[in-house]
Structure 1
Amino acid sequence: MSTAVLDRPNNKAASDLRRVAFATVIGTTIEWYDFFLYASAAGLVFAQLYFEPAGAEIAIMLSFASVGVSFLFRPLGAFLAGHFGDRFGRRAVLAVTLIAMGSATTLIGLLPSYAQIGVAAPVLLLLLRIIQGISTGGEWGGAVLMAVEHAPDGKRGRYGAFPQIGVPIGLLLASGMLALMTGVISPGDAFLEWGWRVPFLLSFVLIIVGYIVRRSVDESPVFLQIAARKKQTKMPIVVLFRKHWLLVLLAALTFAGNNAAGYMTTGGYIQNYATNPEGPVGMDRTSVLLAVAASAVVWLVMTWVAGGVSDKIGRRNTYIIGWCVQLVTVFLLFPLVNTGSVWLLFVGLALFTIGNGFTYGQQAAFFTELFPASIRFSGVSITYAIGAILGGAFAPLIATRLVQVTGTTMSVAFYIAALTVIAFAATLLLRDRTGIPLGPDNEEEQSKGQIYGAAR
C-alpha cells in the first residue's frame, strides 16, 4: 500500500464506502436483533417457561434480571475486543462477536423449559445470555470504528449513524417476527409452546449472511496507519484508565441517559406492562408488538437524521436537543400507554423515540472523536459497556419494582427523567470535537481538551 493512501484514511471510493456502510448496518442489525429478541421474550414468555416456580411477581422480575445480567458481562467483552481490536485490527474482532452472538441466540431457541429439565433450564438460559452480553460488549465499538474511520471528513456523523440505525432495525425485526408468530403462525398457546422459538432459530441464517458481508470489507484505514507505523499500544486498557478515566465516566453517563430510556421498549418493559392480563392495561400482545415495531421505524429515522444534523451543528448541540425532547416526552409516554389504546401507545412511543434518536445517532462519531487512535477501540467499547450498565442493564427491573412499590408509572417517568438530567450535565462537561483528525499522527492533539476544565 502506498504512503499516499496511508496518509489519507478517508481516501475511499464511493463503492467502498457503500460496502462499509452496508456491512456495519447489517452486522449491528443482526447483533441487536438477537439481543432485543431475548429482551422481548423475557417480557412475554421466559417468566412462564423458565422462572414460573418462583411465583408470578418474582418470576417476571427474575426474567427481567436475566436481561440485565448480560450487561454486567459487556465490560468483559469490551475489554477483550478493545485489547485485540487496538492491537490486531477491527475486522477480525467483528467476525468473532457476530458468530458468538448468533450461536447463543440459536441455542436459546433450542433450550428446553423448566418443566422439561428443571433448574438446569434457567441456568443454561443465563449462561447463553452472558455470551450475548460478552459479544455485544465487543460488537458496537468495532462496528462504529469501521464506519467512522472509513468516513470522509465532514460526514462522520452520517456514516457513524449506519451502525446506530442497526439498533432500531434490530428492534423492528425482533418485534415484527414475534408479532408474526403471535398473531398469524402460532397464536394463543402455540406461541408459548413453540412459536417463540422460531425467531431465535432464524438467527442461524442471519449469522451466515452477516459473516459473508463483513468479510468483504477492508480493515479500517486508521488501524492500517497504526500498524504501518508500529504504533499499537501493548496495554491499551491500562493507558485508557490511567490517562482518560474521567473521560470514560462522563461519556458513559451520556450513554446511560439514552440507554435507560431506550430499554423501556427494547428491554421488554412496555411489552410486559401493556400486555399483562392482570395489569391496568391488558392490551393484545400482537397489537403491542406491532406498535413497538412501528415506533422503531420512527426511532430509525430520528437516529439517521441526528447523525447528519451533528455534522452540521456539532455532536454536542445535537445531544442537547435530544435531551430536552426526551425530558418532555418521558412524561407523556405512560399516560398515553395507560389509556389502553394501541394507537395512543404508538403515539407515545413515537414521540419518545424522537429524543432517543437525537441522543443516539451522533454517538458513534462523538465517541470516536473523544479517544486517541491507539486506544480508541478500548475507549469506545468500554465506555459504551459501562454506560449500558449504568443505564439500561436493570432499567426494566427497576421500572417493574417502582410500579409495584408506588402503584404508579409516574415513578418510572421520574426515574428516566433523573437519568436524562444526569446525562445532560455530563454532555455539557464534554467538549465538542467534531472534525478532529483521527489518524495516529495526531495522537497528542487527540489526547487534549476532551473535558471542560482539563488542560488543552
Structure 2
Amino acid sequence: MTEQPATAGPAEERTAETLSPADARRVAIGALVGTAMEWYDFFLFTAAASLVFNKTFFVTGDPTTSLLASFATFGVGLVARPIGGLLFGWMGDRYGRRRTLLITIVGIGMVTGLIGLLPDYFQIGLAAPLLLMALRVLQGLSVGGEWGGAMTLAIEHAPLHQRSRFAAIPQIGSPIGTIMSSGLFAIIGLIVGQGAAFTAWGWRIPFLLAIPLLAVSLWLRSRLEESPVFVAMLDTRSVDRTPVRSMFRLQWRQLLVASLVAMLGVPGFYLVTAFMISYGNQTLKIDSTVLLVGSLLAAVGQIPTVLICGRLGERFGASRVIIGGAVLSAVAAFPAFALLATRNPIAVAAGMIIAVCLLSVSYAVSGTLMTGLFRPEMRYTGTGMAQNLAGVISGFMPLLATALVAGAGQHWWPAAVLLIAIAALTGLGGILGPRYAVPLAGFRH
C-alpha cells in the first residue's frame, strides 16, 4: 500500500494567504543572521582543524595522525548536532520558533568565543584537546537547533507561491559566514604570516570576534515576530506536546527523504571545502592563503547561485532543481579535483568555485523541499533532525576522504568518487520528495 502524504490542514494555507512579501523578506533576513553566524563558526573550526589544531592541540609526532585526530574532533561536534536538533526541535514545535532561535544563537556565539581563549597542548597538555572536544560538543548542540528553526521560521512567514524564493535567503548564510571567516583567516595570514605567530595566536582572532557578532545577531533576531503558523496552532490548540515521538512514529519516511536531500549541501560542502583545503595544503603543498582565497571566491559566487536557484525552484519546483544540481555536481567532480591538483593558483580557485557553486544549486532549494515534507506541528523537529543526520556524515567526510586518498597513494580520485556518490543520494531525495511532501494548494514541490 502506498503511503499518502501527510496533510498540513487548512490553517497553514489560510495563514500563508495573509502574508506579504515584505514581511517574508524581513523575517528571512532575520533568519539569515543566525545561519550566517552558524556557518561562520563552523567554517572557522573547519579551517582551524585543517591548518592549526593538528599542530597545537593534537601533537602526535606524525602529521597524518595529527590531522586525522583534528578532523575526528571536527566530526564529534557534528555527532552532537542530532541531539541538539531533537532538543531544540522539541522546544521550537512545543513553545515557539522565535524564542528557541534566540537560545541557539547565544550558544553558538559564546562557545566559539571560548574556543578562541582555550590554552593549547603546549600550555596545559592533554587537557587542551579534551576541553576543545567538550566545547565542540556544546557548539554542536546549539548548531543542531539553528538551521531547522531558521528555515521553518522563514517559510512559515512566506506566501505559499513564493516559499522557494524566501527559503533561499537563509541559505546564503553559508557563503556569508564563509566569506567572513575565510576572509579573516586570509587577512590575518597576510599580516602575521603562516608561521609561528599565526599558529600561536593569529588563528584566535576570528574566534574571539564571534562575541561582538553575537551581540549584533541577538539584537536583530530579537526583533522578529513569532511564526504565524505556530500562532495559528496555538489558537486552534493543535500544538503537538510530543513532536519528537510523533515525527518518528508518523513521518520517519519523510525524515529519511529529507536527509537525502541535505546530503549534497552539507557533507558535499565539507568535502569540497575542508578536504580540499587540507589535501591542497598538506599533500599538494599549496600555500594556505591560496586555498583560503579560493574558498572566499567560491563563497562569493555561491550567493548569486543560491538566489537565482531559489527563483528557479519557485518556477519549476524544488525537486527538479535539486535533481539538476545533483547531476551537475556529479559531472563536475573529477574536473574540479583535477584543477586543484594542478597547483596553479588560478586553476585551484576555479576548481573550488566550480565545486561549491554547482552543489549550491541543490542546496538553494533544499530547505523548501525539506520543510515541505513535515507537518507544521513537527516541522522544526523533522527539518532540523534531517539536516543534522546529514551533518553527522559530513563531520566525518574529511576524515573519510583523507583515509581513502591515503589508501590510494595520496591521489585525489577517491574524493571525486565520494562526491559523485553524495550527489547521487541527493538526486534520489529530489526524486522521492514530491511523493512524501505535505500537499499545499498552489505550492510546487
Offset of 1:372 from its aligned partner? 0.7
Identity among equivalent pairs (%): 34
CA–CA distance in 2 between the matches of 1:112 and 1:272?
23
Q: In the alignment, residue 269 of structure 1 is paired with which amino acid?
A: F
Q: In the alignment, residue 291 of structure 1 is paired with which amino acid?
A: G
**1:308 aligns to what?**
311
Alignment equivalent of 2:103, drawn from 96, 101, 104 = 96
**2:178 aligns to what?**
171
CA–CA distance in 1 between the matches of 2:415 and 2:157?
40
Gapped regions of structure 2 (runs ≥ 5): 1-10
**1:356 aligns to what?**
359
Offset of 1:54 from its aligned partner? 5.3
Q: Would you say 1:282 and 2:285 are equivalent positions? A: yes
**2:401 aligns to what?**
399
Q: In the alignment, residue 263 of structure 2 is paired with which amino acid?
A: A
Offset of 1:200 from its aligned partner? 0.2
Q: Would you say 1:43 and 2:50 are equivalent positions? A: yes
Offset of 1:428 from its aligned partner? 1.6
Tell me which of the two structures has the higher relative contact order, counting C-alpha pairs closer than 8 angstroms and 6 or more residues apart: 2
Q: In the alignment, residue 221 of structure 1 is paired with which amino acid?
A: P
CA–CA distance in 1 between the matches of 2:293 and 2:107?
29
Q: Would you say 1:299 and 2:299 are equivalent positions? A: no
State which drifts further: 247-256 or 160-169.
247-256
**2:138 aligns to what?**
131
Q: Would you say 1:258 and 2:265 are equivalent positions? A: yes
When normalised by structure 1's length, the TM-score is: 0.91
Q: In the alignment, residue 68 of structure 2 is paired with which amino acid?
A: M
Deviations 1:376-414 (A, max 9, x none): 111101111112223x12110011111111121101111
Alpha carbons 1:175, 1:290 under 8 Å: kept: yes
CA–CA distance in 2 between the matches of 1:354 and 1:262?
10
CA–CA distance in 1 between the matches of 2:226 and 2:255?
26
Superposition RMSD in Å: 2.0
Is the partner of 1:136 in helix, strand or coil?
helix
Deviations 1:220-264 (A, max 9, x none): 110010011111111111111111112211221221233222102
Q: Would you say 1:53 and 2:60 are equivalent positions? A: yes
**1:31 aligns to what?**
38
Is the partner of 2:237 in helix, strand or coil?
coil
Alpha carbons 1:10, 1:149 under 8 Å: kept: no
Q: In the alignment, residue 398 of structure 2 is paired with which amino acid?
A: P
CA–CA distance in 1 between the matches of 2:117 and 2:152?
34
Matches within 5 A, 1:333-348: 333-348=336-351
Q: Cα distance 1:138–1:205, how it changes in 2: closer, same or farther (>3 A)? A: same
Alpha carbons 1:154, 1:435 under 8 Å: kept: no
Q: Would you say 1:196 and 2:203 are equivalent positions? A: yes
Alpha carbons 1:153, 1:435 under 8 Å: kept: no
Offset of 1:21 from its aligned partner? 2.3
Offset of 1:421 from its aligned partner? 1.6
**2:277 aligns to what?**
271
CA–CA distance in 1 between the matches of 2:61 and 2:85?
33
Is the partner of 1:53 in helix, strand or coil?
coil
Q: Cα distance 1:45–1:76, how it changes in 2: closer, same or farther (>3 A)? A: same
CA–CA distance in 1 between the matches of 2:17 and 2:166?
12
Is the partner of 1:361 in helix, strand or coil?
helix
CA–CA distance in 2 between the matches of 1:228 and 1:95?
23
CA–CA distance in 1 between the matches of 2:22 and 2:220?
14
Alpha carbons 1:82, 1:378 under 8 Å: kept: yes
CA–CA distance in 2 between the matches of 1:123 and 1:79?
25
Alpha carbons 2:272, 2:355 under 8 Å: kept: no
CA–CA distance in 2 between the matches of 1:340 and 1:66?
28
Q: Cα distance 1:317–1:420, how it changes in 2: closer, same or farther (>3 A)? A: same
Alpha carbons 1:10, 1:221 under 8 Å: kept: no
Aligned length: 432
CA–CA distance in 1 between the matches of 2:412 and 2:432?
31
CA–CA distance in 2 between the matches of 1:19 and 1:422?
33
Offset of 1:120 from its aligned partner? 0.5
